[in-house]
Amino acid sequence: MPSNLLLEVKNLSVGYEKKAILSKLDLSISKGEMICLMGPNGSGKSTLLKSLVGILPFLEGEIQINGKRIDKIKQEELSKIVSIVLTNKGDVQGLTVEDVVRLGRFPHTNRFGKLQRSDRNIIKESIETMNLESIREKLISELSDGQVQKVFIARALAQDTELIILDEPTTYLDIANKMELMSILTNISKEKGKTLLFSSHDWSLALEMCPKAWLLDHSGTISMGTPEEFLFNGTMQKLFMNEKFFLNSSSGRFCELKSTPKEIYLDCEDSNIKYWSLHALEKIGFKYAEEAELRIYFANGEFKIEGGKSFKSLSDLLLRLKLS
Amino acid sequence: MIKNHKFIFTYLIFIVMILIFSILSWGAVKIPFNEIVSIVLGSNIEEDSFRQIIWELRLPRAFCSMLAGASLGLAGLLMQTFFQNPLAGPFVLGIHSGSSLAVAFWIMTGTALGITLPESVAVAGVTFSSILGGAAVFFMLLLVSMKIKGNIILLVIGLLFGYFTSGLISLLISVTDAQKIKTFLMWTLGSFQGKTALELIMLSLILGIGLIWSLYLGKRLNVLLLGEEYALSLGLRFKRFKIETLLLTSLLSGAVTSLCGPVAFVGIMAPHIARKLFSSQDHFVLIPGSFIIGSILCLVAEFLSGLGVTLVVPINAILGLFGAPFIVFFLFGKRRFRDA
């Protein structure tokens, strides 16, 4: 269905001053999709995203938005179709949250930036979507990194574009903020019907939150698919092949490569305690096996090695096993 | 505009009025308070010399300081936002040097060529060359800022350009007659005194245009705070914006420079004080803010310069004494400039 296509990229080369960083890209985004652009640091993710919004001229090929080539669309018109949240946040320390969000209305207001009722509504709505009502009048300099990021996303929402592009939105955020932000983004995509494209080098984030991903590898090619697909067809493992780590295709987690792990048996009724105890044991080079010689029993809050000592806590046990 | 801002503006306007009054009342001839009021209000008083002193000497001084300060405050604000550089200003970035050089050429080449121009053409020429010289430097800075990013580099280039122009000016001086040299040197000291009504009307017209035009640029200046990339992504037409800012800054700074000489540091100080005072970066607050704070700075400088009654200290001496430490304090205060 071509009518459902929002963005189409054909044979695109992007880079700075004639020097291509990525080339021969063929990509497409359909309306309403939420896509994660995955790739290692410094692989050219930002360069690609900036080219897609038209703030960095591309070198070769074609980018089409809604069937129109973006180099044929005026920047003023383009700014009503696509917005971007960058990693740099400008010099806005002295502006309030609302001031920054209001700047998103730039393409929609008159010369003096006078806000109409509809503009005010969109600003209010954007602030509410990002849960920023309580800090609406605070200065940017008073906010945490996570809050600033949310303000800039609210600004992009206020710009009211079909496609929102975000460059590394979760970098520098702690895990709680990361999860909150991702759930808000998922909401924006589902409830407001916005199309989202964001970059990340955080593989687990894409795996957990995104139905679709673009995977950028070292050779500069991008594969499109679902994160799970990349896991079971081995694309991910190949990309992250490393002497010290490997990607466990059943858990989707990175694991340290160890010389043959020792076998261990753990008997424990509480499945939660068993799971996490084994998790810890794996870190110091053990592997669960039913028939292992080394047998541990957990009862009454104590770990007991068969034919040996008891330990009051998991860390004591680990210390002992490490030494032996 | 927040309620608090209105309060600050009222305060500032009050300060301006006090300063104007101080300039009107201070001087070699002592004029009683109530007489000053009635003179300014236009009613007749017995002592005609009082009226002359107020209307022909002191009021033009006060008025000129106000206009010049406001223009420079605006020009400084525009430049700081435009270059995204808090150290920008017409004086430190060498816009004034460009004006000086052009004016020096205008004043001094006439003698070299042996031409004597009528008074009005000569004065108009000073204004024109001052604006043109300023614009040329601004354009050069524009080219440099596109190639090199970094706050300090732009400043260094401005300073180097200042040295370069003073070299050229010295060269010009060595081939010009004493009278013209004196005219030029007096001009470089900076002065708000002895301006004619016509000159002041000209300056107020330019300032009026400047104020309205700045407000017209306000929305775009605000969006530039986000940085060039965001501004582009929001649809800012950069080329046009650049040309408009270039024209406006050169016009404001050039007009003041042609009339009052290169007035130091007001352009860089006024926007900073405005930002601190209003704790805002919104240009619709900062434009009127820098306007009025620029006026206050120049009024204070003018008042201090006339404080000695018979001994008049040049404006730039006073502004230099305050302005240079201001920048040093600013550099120390901002951590992020230590590694810029």
Instruction: Provide the pLDDT for residue B289.
Output: 96
Residues 6+ apart with CB under 8 A from A115: A102, A105, A109, A123
pLDDT score for B221: 94
**List of chain A residues whose C-beta atoms are within 8 Å of the C-beta of residue B280:** 94-95
DSSP 3-state of A82: strand
Indicate which of A16, A49, A55 best probes the interface with B, i.e. most B CBs within 10 Å of its own CB: A55
- Residue to substitute from B4, B233, B334, interface A, most A β-carbons within 10 A: B233
Q: How many CB pairs under 8 A join A and B?
A: 84
Q: Do A75 and B279 touch (CB under 8 A)?
A: no
Closest-CA distance, B212 to chain A, in angstroms, reads 11
Per-residue exposure over A284-298, b if at least 16 CB sit within 10 Å of its own CB, e if not? eebeeeeeeebebeb
Distance in angstroms (rounded) separating the CA atoms of residues A231 and B212: 60
Return the pLDDT at B170: 86
Residues 6+ apart with CB under 8 A from A103: A155, A158, B222, B223, B225, B226, B230, B234
Specify the number of domains making up chain B: 1
Q: Which residues of chain A make contact with B281, given a CB cutoff of 8 A?
A: 91-95, 99
Nearest CA-CA distance, residue A82 and chain B, Å: 8
Query: Does position A245 have pLDDT exceeding 70, yes or no?
Result: no
Tens digits of residue pLDDT in A199-219: 988 878 888 888 899 998 878
Of A49-53, B56-60, B179-183, the one with minimum mean pLDDT is B179-183
pLDDT for A196:
94
Query: Which ipTM did the prediction report?
Result: 0.81
Which residues sit opposite A214 in a β-bridge?
A37, A224
Rounded mean pLDDT, B121-150: 82
Which residues of chain B neighbour A91 with C-beta distances below 8 Å? 84, 225, 227, 281
pLDDT at A1: 44
Six-digit token pair at A286? 């053990």
Residue whose entry in the numeric block shows the structure tokens 């121009």 = B117
Q: Give me the pLDDT at residue B115, please.
A: 66
Can you tell me whether residue B96 is helix, strand or coil?
A: helix
pLDDT band at B181 (very low <50, low <70, confident <90, very high): confident
Please answer yes or no on whether A159 and B234 come within 8 Å at the CB atom. yes
User: Per-residue pLDDT for B84 more than 70?
Assistant: yes
**B235–A83: do the CB atoms touch at under 8 Å?**
no
- Give the rounded percent of residues in chain B with a pLDDT score beyond 70: 92
Mapped onto helix, strand or coil, the DSSP state of residue B252 is: helix
Q: Counting Cβ atoms within 10 Å, is residue B19 exposed (0-12), middle (13-18) or buried (19+)?
A: buried
CA distances from B339 to A40, A199, B79, B144 (A): 28, 29, 22, 20
| Per-residue pLDDT reduced to its tens digit, B204-248 | 999 999 999 999 999 999 999 998 899 999 999 888 898 898 889
pLDDT in tens, B271-307: 999 998 988 888 999 999 999 999 999 999 999 988 8
Question: Are the beta carbons of B225 and A92 separated by less than 8 Å?
Answer: yes
Burial of B28 per CB tally in 10 Å (0-12, 13-18, 19+): exposed
What value does the mean pLDDT of chain A take?
Answer: 87
User: What pLDDT is recorded for position B41?
Assistant: 79
pLDDT of B336: 47
Separation CA A305–CA A297 (nearest Å): 6
- Determine the Cα–Cα distance for residues B50 and B290; give it in Å rounded to an integer: 33
Q: Which two tokens stand for residue B169?
A: 């000016």
User: Looking at chain B, which residue has its C-alpha nearest residue A84?
Assistant: B233
Beta strands A295-299; A262-267: pairing state: parallel
Q: What's residue B338's pLDDT?
A: 39
Yes or no, beta carbons of A113 and B222 under 8 Å apart:
yes
Contact A54/B215, CB-based, under 8 Å?
no
Mean pLDDT score of chain B, rounded to an integer? Answer: 85
Residues of A in contact with B290 (CB under 8 A): none
SS (H, E, C) B135-186: HHHHHHHHHHHHHCCCHHHHHHHHHHHHHHHHHHHHHHHHCCCHHHHHHHHH
Are B225 and A95 in contact (CB < 8 Å)? yes
Q: Is the minimum CB–CB distance between A86 and chain B shorter than 8 Å?
A: yes
> A249-302: per-residue pLDDT in tens?
667 777 676 667 788 999 988 888 998 998 888 888 888 888 888 899 998 888
Q: Is A112 on the interface with B (CB under 8 A)?
A: yes
Quick one: average pLDDT of A10-20?
88
CATH code for position B20: 1.10.3470.10
Q: What is the pLDDT of residue B274?
A: 93
Interface contact flag, B216 A111, Cβ < 8 Å: yes
Closest CA to A158 of A194, A190, A122: A122
DSSP letter string, B273-330: HHHHHHT---HHHHHHHHHHHHHHHHHHHHHHHTTTTTSPPPHHHHHHHHHHHHHHHH
Host domain of residue B269: 3-339
Give the residue carrying structure tokens 């990229």. Answer: A9
Chain A residues with beta carbon closer than 8 angstroms to that of B223 = 103, 106
Residue B39: predicted pLDDT = 79
> In this model, does residue B259 exceed pLDDT 90?
no
Can you give the pTM of this predicted structure? Answer: 0.82
Residues of B with CB under 8 A from a CB of A: 84, 215-216, 218-219, 222-223, 225-227, 229-230, 232-237, 275, 279-282, 284
Q: Does A94 touch chain B (CB under 8 A)?
A: yes
Which chain B residue has its CA at the smallest distance from A161's CA?
B234
